[in-house]
């Protein structure tokens, strides 16, 4: 059987010039590059980025997703596949672990994402959202992606580090932004003159800050009984007696900040873009909200009764998945679709490309949340058709938290404002490079006057 397999080098794909490969195209065009390769070469193609990712087998579609996320998991390493995230995520963090080590960490962080714990974050998120959005109606046109980035970063710093003082939150947010930006640094030299070096300095400052928070609270005797995130991480012991060290707790917490803010703000930016361009869907969500909560303040119980909003968020996940690529590295030779992919190759799947396959989703470039409503349920025809939050052992552990946060943001906005976004869908859809293009989005919010039946103030109300 193995004799009939073709070498992965025989996969379709133009791997460019020696030493350069596809690096320039892939780094400059990002998602668009993979989209173009997919259009040319189909659902399995090869890409080369010498020195960075060397050889990549790019696999697209539900079967590929199932293979990489579930069936082939024993031979596909997340630690090695996500090595490019090393400046932020050490091998202590759950996303960069494999096998037994990963299972242990996942068990130890589970209490942080337990339903009860998530419900306890509701008030914090709600108060940050309300405060940050207070003046959105008075500021004219705002930079949507930057504002949402700021908002989601404050939320994760408050939830995961327990920071309360505004100056501390601002400081950690600044360090964290420098750290994330440093991923773009080509020269990986830990020196103040390089982007990477400045990122590492920021990372050490965040670590020192979290260590100091832990020690101050331990000195006050606060850590033992408390149920906030750092205490949960420090105190949880599994049935085999495993427990995180202080350094592991700090690294996991930094991992949560990373995994939990840009993802949420990116998806929110595109949701507000689609909704800003769709008066019909804004009205449908407002009608649903009115039915469920009337003019009461938003509560967690309300958020569980909003099926149309749930479908809107799923449609955002489908069209604009923030993690557009999921990477692993083969640790042994693997067989897929008639090819033998050797150990050492990267094997990547693509959320956005799967989500735009016309054989799964009707008119895949159209914003149509009803595709997830009963009877159609297009994502249910084949497992692993919707993977914006991953799947299998490494599936997003923050998914419920992220969905609650997005519902709080959306509900608050719908109650307080109406909005428009530029560029419009007509000008830029279908968007093939969400990651880069989100920075162009600008929004204008107009306060709604509840006394006038929700008509925006100044819009003829």
Provide the binding-site residues for ligand HEM, judged by CB under 6 A: 78, 94-95, 106, 255-256, 259-260, 263-264, 267, 322-323, 326, 388-390, 394, 396-398, 401-402
Q: Which is nearer to ligand HEM, 372 or 418 (CB)?
A: 372
Shortest-Cβ-distance residue relative to ligand HEM: 398
Phi, psi dihedrals of residue 422, rounded to the nearest 5°: -120, 155
Cβ pair 304, 310 in contact under 8 A: no
Neighbour tally for 101: CB within 10 Å: 15
Q: Which is nearer to ligand HEM, 183 or 340 (CB)?
A: 183
Q: Which is nearer to ligand HEM, 198 or 394 (CB)?
A: 394
| Burial call 76-93: b when 16+ CB within 10 Å, e when fewer | bbbbbbbbebebbbbebb
Cβ of residue 114: shortest distance to ligand HEM, in angstroms? Answer: 13
| Burial call 45-74: b when 16+ CB within 10 Å, e when fewer | bbbbbbeebebbbbbbbbbbbbbbbeebbe
Cβ pair 348, 56 in contact under 8 A: yes
Q: Which is nearer to ligand HEM, 195 or 323 (CB)?
A: 323
Cβ of residue 256: shortest distance to ligand HEM, in angstroms? Answer: 4
Distance CA 349, CA 204 (A): 32
Cβ of residue 107: shortest distance to ligand HEM, in angstroms? Answer: 11
Cβ of residue 458: shortest distance to ligand HEM, in angstroms? Answer: 33
Q: Which is nearer to ligand HEM, 396 or 414 (CB)?
A: 396
Nearest to 326 by CA among 50, 3, 76, 26: 76
Cβ of residue 159: shortest distance to ligand HEM, in angstroms? Answer: 8
Cβ of residue 395: shortest distance to ligand HEM, in angstroms? Answer: 6
Strand partners, 329: 77, 346
Q: Where are the beta strands (DSSP E) in 13-101?
A: 44-49, 54-59, 76-77
Degrees to nearest 5, angle at CA 293 with 289 and 295:
100
Q: Which is nearer to ligand HEM, 293 or 352 (CB)?
A: 352
Distance CA 64, CA 56 (A): 14
Q: Which is nearer to ligand HEM, 299 or 395 (CB)?
A: 395
Cβ of residue 158: shortest distance to ligand HEM, in angstroms? Answer: 13
């Amino acid at each position: 059987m193995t004799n009939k397999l073709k070498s992965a080098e025989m996969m379709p794909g133009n791997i460019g010039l020696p030493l350069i490969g596809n690096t320039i195209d892939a780094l400059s065009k990002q998602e668009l590059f993979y989209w173009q390769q997919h259009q040319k070469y189909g659902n399995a193609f090869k890409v080369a980025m010498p020195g960075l990712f060397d050889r990549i087998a790019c696999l697209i579609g539900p079967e590929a997703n199932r293979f990489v996320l579930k069936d082939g998991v024993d031979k596909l390493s997340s630690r090695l596949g996500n090595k490019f995230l090393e400046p932020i995520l050490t091998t202590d963090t759950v996303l960069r672990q494999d096998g037994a080590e990963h299972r242990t960490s996942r068990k130890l962080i589970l209490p942080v994402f337990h339903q009860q714990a998530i419900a306890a974050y509701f008030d914090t998120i709600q108060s940050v959202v309300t405060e940050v959005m207070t003046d959105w109606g008075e500021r004219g046109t705002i930079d949507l992606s930057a504002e949402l980035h700021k908002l989601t970063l404050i939320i994760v710093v408050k939830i995961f580090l327990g920071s309360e003082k505004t100056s501390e939150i601002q400081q950690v947010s600044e360090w964290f932004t420098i750290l994330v930006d440093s991923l773009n640094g080509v020269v990986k030299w830990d020196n103040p003159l390089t982007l990477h070096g400045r990122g590492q300095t920021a990372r050490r400052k965040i670590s020192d800050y979290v260590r100091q928070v832990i020690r101050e609270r331990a000195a006050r005797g606060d850590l033992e009984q408390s149920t906030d995130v750092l205490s949960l991480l420090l105190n949880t012991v599994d049935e085999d007696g495993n427990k995180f060290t202080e350094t592991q707790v700090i690294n996991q917490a930094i991992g949560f900040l990373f995994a939990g803010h840009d993802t949420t703000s990116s998806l929110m930016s595109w949701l507000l873009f689609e909704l800003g361009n769709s008066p019909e869907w804004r009205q449908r969500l407002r009608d649903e909200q009115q039915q469920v909560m009337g003019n009461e303040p938003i509560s967690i119980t309300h958020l569980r009764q909003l099926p149309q909003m749930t479908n809107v968020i799923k449609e955002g996940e489908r069209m604009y998945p923030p993690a557009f690529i999921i990477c692993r590295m083969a640790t042994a030779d693997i067989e897929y679709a008639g090819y033998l992919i050797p150990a050492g190759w990267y094997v990547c799947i693509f959320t956005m490309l799967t989500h735009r396959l016309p054989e799964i989703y009707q008119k895949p470039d159209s914003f149509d949340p009803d595709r997830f409503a009963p009877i159609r349920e297009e994502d249910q025809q084949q497992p692993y058709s919707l993977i914006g939050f991953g799947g299998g052992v490494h599936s997003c552990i923050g998914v419920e938290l992220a969905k609650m946060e997005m519902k709080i943001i959306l509900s608050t906005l719908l109650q307080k404002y109406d909005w428009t976004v530029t560029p419009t869908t007509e000008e830029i859809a279908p968007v093939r490079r969400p990651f880069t293009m989100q920075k162009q989005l600008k929004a204008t919010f107009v306060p709604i006057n509840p006394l006038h039946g929700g008509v925006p103030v100044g819009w003829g109300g």
